[in-house]
Structure 1
Amino acid sequence: MKKKYRVIQYRQKCIGCNACVEVAPERWRMSKKDGKSVLLGAKEKKGIFSVLIHEEELEANRLAAEYCPVNIIRILDT
């Protein structure tokens, strides 16, 4: 069984720099409404967005977290 990880985004603090979209476009998009990034497939709870990903997506999303200048993306083991 493949390992899964949880990607968490604190979207309210996003400044819309597009770094996450550049390194992980299969999981991130920029919103035309407010200019902030959208974590595709995520569920929202109390302003925090999260989604489970497979190992194949891990490296790109780790880069998204690393390159985020406001540090609002977290990757957790499940």
Structure 2
Amino acid sequence: MKPTDTKQGDKVPRPLSSDQAQKGTPSPDPVLEQPDPDTEAVDKVITPTSIKEQEEKTREIQRRLAEAQGEG
């Protein structure tokens, strides 16, 4: 399903009520995109949350390194 499709999908950013779905009301927001098969495996491994966690760990390591170099 493409973002321009007006058909109801089971994956919409904002859920519809059952009344709206039965009446065929189009989704108020664009339908979510299907995963890209070429990058799907990587996308599942690297999520925005894991990237933020990695950045936090990196900052902590850099802070500790700076402290250790300052003490030495």
> More strand by proportion, 1 or 2?
1
The structure with more radius of gyration: 2
TM-score when normalising by structure 2: 0.20
TM-score when normalising by structure 1: 0.19
